[in-house]
């Protein structure tokens, strides 16, 4: 039975403009009629052409000039008819497409309706929550969904949990999953065009500097001397490793280092009886704040925009590691440096973005061809759709039902991880924060139950061995001279010649950009601080709108910040030269066609340059006798 979506206009708030009322059957008929109308125009044109020719013959005999006027009108008219016919055909096509769009929306409504009916079987309250699945902000619109003569009211409530539940239903529908996947890919493309997707530039072993098992709150060392046995153990590892962000940032805050660095942790476990080895890689969550857009140019491997890249890579297992994200490359590089071979069982454990990276690696064909990934553990990560674990890899999923982050991607309702651990709390400040997870996991019976997947992975008498910490820094994968110039103005370029621009110019440009960004995001002052962005989540927010806002935000960023910055640069760079290079007017493009060598890192023996495929690197021996592979000297390096 066809399902029609008909707004009840009596329920529409006064002043509402976004009203849709349509009968797709009518549109289909109109489309066909418009095609017929176009045919009539075309037929008329065909009949008129010979008449115009005869009038042309007549006009040649007429000295009054009236025949010529008639001939001109008819000739122009024949062209007009062609235009009218084409326009009518286009209109017919557009109407047909509109009908198809409405039918797609109707299919979505059908999904929602079925979900509603299923939810109604459970409780009326759950059914009502589906209202916001249409993507409207809670309380802003009411709809009536009608199946045949049965009318089902779908009411949006102005409560965040209900909105989240509604979106949760949406992301499990076919339409929702496809929409979110496409939106993620588009965001990824956009981020790439803005130079916000990065590759690993340099890395180093900082095990002697950072102990990731120290509780950042209490200073207590919580390192386990045994393998993790429960989900709570994994949550604690994630809490500690993510909590080490600050210590790593502090370490790289000195003048010796350039740019932002982020870390990952490798822990070995040994079975003293058999000599077998197991390796756990623990990946922290995002480092930095969403409002700090410039941070994405500063070189970390776990910035906000890397989330987009890692999420997009979930459904692209064929991507070469050389073209993957900086965080994925750092894991690959660390395993190579540490001599982990293809036979050593590996477990990837990640919190938030770290979980996305872990799952992207577990699915990546090149990575799996090199390493023996047996377990992936994700905590608060959106990996339940395209990120479903590949066959042969156990997936331990740990979520908080009220956590919004795992819901930012689609969800396959039929996907079941190997082990699924779920918390359900809201009153911990941030339902995504790792401290809240830890507190609740430690008090959860299921999280403290022994994990079969972990027991299977550590099937012996394993003890914890040494811990290794690597940090990496990234670079824009298509850094051009023009972008370097802009980075110099923003004060975030390193390792290249200086640009003589006044401090005032730099400060003005940076302040203008950041102030405009804040003004655009329209956040209250209290929310602009480092912790503010998390607090925003306690406000009514529909994730669908977040995607839309991001899309609009990128367009706006180009128009209001980048173009404006470009104009400022044009002005600021007048008469400035670096050597023989005249910078005015700079050609600032955000879709550069060519690549330039990456900036030269600080000369430090501990810091190595990342090369995605060191096997192809030559020469075999450097002039000073060092092995280039061991010292990370690859193509494009400037040593």
Partner 1 sequence: MASTVDIMAAVGRGGLGSGAAASASASASGLAARVREWARALGAHIDTEVQELESIAAESRAYSLESWRSQAAVAFRDALVQEQVANATFQGELETAATYTRHAGESIAASLDALAATLGGVGALIDNALLGMSQVEGVLDDVIVHADRSGLILLQNELQSHLADPLLNQVAGALSQVGR
d(CA 144, CA 311): 35
Two tokens, residue 86: 């084409």
Q: What is each CA distance from 156 to 109, 112, 311, 581, in whole angstroms?
A: 15, 13, 30, 60
DSSP 86-155: HHHHHHHHHHHHHHHHHHHHHHHHHHHHHHHHHHHHH-HHHHHGGGGGGSPPTTS-EEEEEETTEEEEEE
- Please, what is the minimum distance in Å from the beta carbon of residue 99 to partner 1? 10
To partner 1, the closest distance from the beta carbon of 153 in angstroms equals 20
Strands (DSSP E) found in 126-197: 142-147, 150-155
Q: How far is the CB of 190 from partner 1 (least distance, A)?
A: 24
Q: Is the dihedral of CA 221, 225, 228, 231 positive or negative?
A: negative
349 and 377 Cβ atoms separated by less than 8 Å: yes
Strands (E) located in 181-238: 198-205
Site for partner 1 in 21-60 (CB under 8 A): 21-23, 26-27, 30, 33-34, 37, 40-41, 44, 47-48, 51, 54-55, 57-60
Distance CA 102, CA 27 (A): 10
Q: Which is nearer to partner 1, 47 or 226 (CB)?
A: 47
**CA–CA distance, 342 with 316 (Å, rounded to integer):** 22
Return the number of the residue (39 or 511) whose C-beta is nearest partner 1.
39
Nearer to partner 1, 96 or 568 (CB): 96
Burial of residue 63, with CB atoms counted within 10 A of its CB: 0-12 exposed, 13-18 middle, 19 or more buried: exposed
> Residue 20 or 621: which CB sits closer to partner 1?
20
Question: Could you tell me whether strands 150-155 and 394-400 are parallel, antiparallel, or unpaired per DSSP bridges?
Answer: unpaired
For partner 1, the closer of residues 29 and 507 by Cβ is 29
User: 38: helix, coil or strand?
Assistant: helix
Tokens of 486: 């802009």
Site string for partner 1, 569-608 (x = CB under 8 A): ----------------------------------------
* Closest distance of CB 522 from partner 1, Å: 25
Give the one residue of 62, 103, 106, 185 binding partner 1; rule: CB under 8 A: 62
What's the closest the beta carbon of residue 37 comes to partner 1, in angstroms?
Answer: 6
Kindly tell me which of 83 and 613 has the beta carbon lying closer to partner 1.
83
**Nearest-angstrom CA–CA distance, 52 and 73:** 9
Q: Where does this chain touch partner 1 (CB under 8 A) — which range of 62-70, 108-116, 181-189, 423-431?
A: 62-70
* Closest CB 56 distance from partner 1, rounded Å: 10
Nearer to partner 1, 50 or 148 (CB): 50
Please state the closest distance from residue 178 (CB atom) to partner 1, in A: 21
Strand partners, 280: 267, 347
Burial of 218 (0-12, 13-18, 19+ CB in 10 A): exposed
Q: Total binding residues for partner 1 by CB under 8 A?
A: 47
Would you tell me how many other CB atoms lie within 10 Å of the CB of residue 428?
16
> What's the min distance (Å) between Cβ of 107 and partner 1?
17
Applying CB under 8 A, among 13, 14, 15, 64 the residue interacting with partner 1 is 64
The smaller minimum CB distance to partner 1, of residues 27 and 327, is found at: 27
User: Are 253 and 459 in contact, with CB atoms under 8 Å apart?
Assistant: no
Cβ–Cβ under 8 Å, residues 400 and 440: yes
Rounded to a whole number of angstroms, the minimum distance from the CB of residue 252 to partner 1 is 50
Q: Rounded to the nearest whole angstrom, what is the least distance from the CB of residue 59 to partner 1 in the complex?
A: 6
| 94/342 with CB nearer partner 1 | 94
Give, as one character, the DSSP assignment of residue 153: E
d(CA 590, CA 588) in angstroms, rounded, equals 7
Tokens of 334: 């660390």
Q: How far apart are CA 367 and CA 344, in angstroms?
A: 13
Per the CB < 8 A criterion, the answer to whether 426 and 161 are in contact is yes
Contact residue for partner 1 among 11, 16, 20, 104 (CB under 8 A): 20
Interface region with partner 1, contact rule CB under 8 A, candidates 18-26, 499-507, 585-593, 601-609: 18-26
- Give least dist CB 322 to partner 1, A: 44
Distance (Å, whole) CA 484 – CA 580: 16
Please name the residues in contact with 471: beta carbons below 8 A apart, sequence gap of 6 or more.
Answer: 203, 204, 206, 210, 248, 251, 252, 261, 262, 263
Residues in 66-105 at the binding interface with partner 1, rule: CB under 8 A:
66-67, 69-70, 73-74, 76-77, 80-81, 83-84, 87-88, 91, 94-95, 98, 101
Nearest distance from residue 203's CB to partner 1, in Å?
Answer: 51
Q: Identify which of residues 84 and 389 has a Cβ nearer to partner 1 in the complex.
A: 84
Decide whether 101 or 443 has the Cβ nearer to partner 1: 101
Nearer to partner 1 by Cβ, of 1 and 61: the residue is 61
Please state, in angstroms and as integers, the Cα–Cα distance from residue 581 to each residue in 18, 286, 494, 585, following that order.
53, 39, 18, 11
Tell me how far, at minimum, the Cβ of 531 lies from partner 1, in Å.
40
CB of 43 to partner 1, least distance (A): 9
Nearer to partner 1, 30 or 576 (CB): 30
Nearer Cβ to partner 1, position 80 or 193? 80
Burial call 434-465: b when 16+ CB within 10 Å, e when fewer: bebbbbbbeebeebeeebebbeebbeeebebe
**Which residue is it, tokens 């409560």?**
159
Decide: is 134 part of the binding site for partner 1 (CB under 8 A). no
12 within 8 A of 20, measured Cβ to Cβ:
no
Q: Toward partner 1, which CB reaches closer, 92 or 162?
A: 92
Least distance to partner 1, CB of residue 15, Å = 15
Phi, psi (rounded to 5 degrees) for 487: -65, -35
Question: Which position has the token pair 């008469």?
Answer: 575
Query: Footprint of partner 1 on this chain (CB under 8 A)?
Result: 18-23, 26-27, 30, 33-34, 37, 40-41, 44, 47-48, 51, 54-55, 57-64, 66-67, 69-70, 73-74, 76-77, 80-81, 83-84, 87-88, 91, 94-95, 98, 101
């Amino acid at each position: 039975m066809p399902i029609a979506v008909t707004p009840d206009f009596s329920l529409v708030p006064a002043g509402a403009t976004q009203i849709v009322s349509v009968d797709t059957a009518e549109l289909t008929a109109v489309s066909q009629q418009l095609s017929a109308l176009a045919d009539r125009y075309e037929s008329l044109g065909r009949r008129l052409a010979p008449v115009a020719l005869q009038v042309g013959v007549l006009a040649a005999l007429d000295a009054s000039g009236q025949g010529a006027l008639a001939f001109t009108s008819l000739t122009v008219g024949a062209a007009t008819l062609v235009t009218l016919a084409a326009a009518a055909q286009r209109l017919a096509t557009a109407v047909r497409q509109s009908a198809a769009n409405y039918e797609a929306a109707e299919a979505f409504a059908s999904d929602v309706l079925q979900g509603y009916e299923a939810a109604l079987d459970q409780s009326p309250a759950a059914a009502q929550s589906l209202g916001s699945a249409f993507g409207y902000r809670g309380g802003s619109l009411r709809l009536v969904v009608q199946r045949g003569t049965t009318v089902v009211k779908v009411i949006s409530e102005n409560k965040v949990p209900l909105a989240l539940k509604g979106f949760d239903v949406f992301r499990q529908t076919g339409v929702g999953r496809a929409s979110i996947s496409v939106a993620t890919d588009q965001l990824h493309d956009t981020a790439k065009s803005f130079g916000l997707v990065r590759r690993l530039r340099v890395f180093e072993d900082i095990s002697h500097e950072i102990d990731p098992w120290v509780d950042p709150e209490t200073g207590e060392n919580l390192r386990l001397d045994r393998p993790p046995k429960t989900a709570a153990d994994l949550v604690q590892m994630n809490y500690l490793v993510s909590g080490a962000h600050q210590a790593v940032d502090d370490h790289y805050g000195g003048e010796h280092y350039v740019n932002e660095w982020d870390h990952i942790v490798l822990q070995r476990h040994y079975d003293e009886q058999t000599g077998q080895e197991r390796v756990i890689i623990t990946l922290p969550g995002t480092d930095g704040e969403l409002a700090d857009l410039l941070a994405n140019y500063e070189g970390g491997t776990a910035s906000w925009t890397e989330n987009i890249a890692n999420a997009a890579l979930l459904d692209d297992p064929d991507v070469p590691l050389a073209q993957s994200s900086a965080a994925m490359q750092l894991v690959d590089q660390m395993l190579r440096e540490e001599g982990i071979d293809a036979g050593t069982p590996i477990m990837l454990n990640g919190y938030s973005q770290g979980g996305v990276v872990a799952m992207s690696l577990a699915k990546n064909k090149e990575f799996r061809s090199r390493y023996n990934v047996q377990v992936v553990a994700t905590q608060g990560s959106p990996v339940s759709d395209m990120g479903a674990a590949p066959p042969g890899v156990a997936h331990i999923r740990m979520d908080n039902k009220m956590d919004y982050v795992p819901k930012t991607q689609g969800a396959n309702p039929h996907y079941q991880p190997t082990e699924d651990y779920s918390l359900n709390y809201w009153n911990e400040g941030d339902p995504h924060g790792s401290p809240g997870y830890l507190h609740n996991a430690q008090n959860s019976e299921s999280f403290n139950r022994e994990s079969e997947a972990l027991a299977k992975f550590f099937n012996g008498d394993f003890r914890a061995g040494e811990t290794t910490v690597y940090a990496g820094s990234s670079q824009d994968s298509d850094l051009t001279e023009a972008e370097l110039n802009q980075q110099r103005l923003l004060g975030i370029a390193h390792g290249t010649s200086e640009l003589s621009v006044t401090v005032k110019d730099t400060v003005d440009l940076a302040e203008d950009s950041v102030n405009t960004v804040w003004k655009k995001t329209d956040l209250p002052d209290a929310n602009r601080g480092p912790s503010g962005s998390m607090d925003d989540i306690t406000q009514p927010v529909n994730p669908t709108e977040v995607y839309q806002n991001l899309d609009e935000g990128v367009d706006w960023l180009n128009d209001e910040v980048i173009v404006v910055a470009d104009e400022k640069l044009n002005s600021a760079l007048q008469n400035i030269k670096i050597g023989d290079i005249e910078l005015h007017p700079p050609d600032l493009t955000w879709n550069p066609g060519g690549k330039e060598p990456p900036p030269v890192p600080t000369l430090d023996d501990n810091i190595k340059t990342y090369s995605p495929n060191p096997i192809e690197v030559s020469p075999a021996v450097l002039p000073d006798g060092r092995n280039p592979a061991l010292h990370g000297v690859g193509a494009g390096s400037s040593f």
